[in-house]
Amino acid sequence: MKAFAILAMISFGVMAAQNTKPVKVIFFGDSITEAGVHAGGYIDRMRKRLKEKSPASSFQLTGAGIGGNKVYDLYLRVEDDVLNQKPDWVFIYVGVNDVWHKKSFGTGTDPDKFEKFYVALIKKLQARDIQVALCTPAVIGEKADGQNEMDADLTKYSQIIRTLAAKYDLSLCDLRRVFFEHLAKNNSANKEKGVLTTDGVHLNDVGNQLVAEEMLKVIVK
């Protein structure tokens, strides 16, 4: 009888563990996020770190990044790629192409439209009781702040995101601030790329690790 009771307790424990739903986290963005799921990417690094903390990981991380996306692209696909997946958390990591494509392709997104689409995204997510973390676009060029061609615009768009995070009481992952703090200490040669990125925009190993660490601070308290 005693042995049966012990077996029953073990079985119950196994079933309880199996029935515990993981926290579903979606990373919503552009090519930086698209690459984040690959080996060594920031999402891949987060998965490995979370499994180290808990072998039966209580988090399910999903990348929903598409190269070239701007904020309105995210708005157009939020239903299929995010809301229908019923996540608990969503990281919005967008803005680089909204600025960069103005110069490179003559497109991009004006600041007022950027803010309106961003607010619309936030409201759609909050209407489903999803926890939202906003991420500022990090860099387009790694020279000291103010010396890269698009620094002024990136700073303006990042400030829009910071303001929205405060207004809607959302978590903020201020990657632009964190990147420049790191570059101030580690880019004495004032290189345009190679410290945190491969090309001034897309993350190298160090950049991916830095982003992973900052995002983990949001979901792991």
What residue spans define the domains of the chain? Answer: 24-219
Is residue 25 over pLDDT 60? Answer: yes
Q: Is the pLDDT of residue 37 over 80?
A: yes
Report phi then psi at 173, rounded to 5. -110, 95
Q: Taking each helix axis as running N to C, give the angle between helix 111-126 and helix 71-81, from 0 to 180 degrees, rounded to the nearest 10.
A: 20
| pLDDT category of residue 106 using cuts at 50, 70 and 90 | confident
CB 117 within 8 A of CB 72: yes
> With 50 as the cut, is the pLDDT of residue 12 above it?
no
Residues 6+ positions from 9 with CB-CB distance below 8 Å? none
pLDDT at 6 over 80: no
* Average pLDDT for the chain: 91
Return all residues near 110 (Cβ < 8 A) that are at least 6 apart.
none
**Position 103 confidence tier, pLDDT thresholds 50, 70, 90:** confident
Q: What is the pTM of this model?
A: 0.89
**pLDDT of amino acid 49:** 95
Neighbouring C-beta atoms of residue 78, cutoff 10 Å: 19
CATH classification (class only), 24-219: alpha beta
- CA gap 167, 126 in Å, rounded: 13
Label residue 77 by pLDDT band (50, 70, 90): very high
Is the model's pLDDT at 210 over the cut of 60?
A: yes
Query: CA torsion 78→26→128→110, rounded to 10°?
Result: -40
For residue 208, the number of C-alpha atoms closer than 13 Å in the C-beta half-sphere is 24
pLDDT of the residue at 85: 97
CA 63 → CA 12, 73, 92, 201, distances in Å?
33, 15, 11, 18
Mean pLDDT of 137-157: 96
Q: pLDDT category, 56, cuts 50, 70, 90?
A: low
Alpha-carbon gap, residue 79 to 130, rounded angstroms: 13
Q: How many CA atoms lie within 13 A of 11 on its CB side?
A: 6
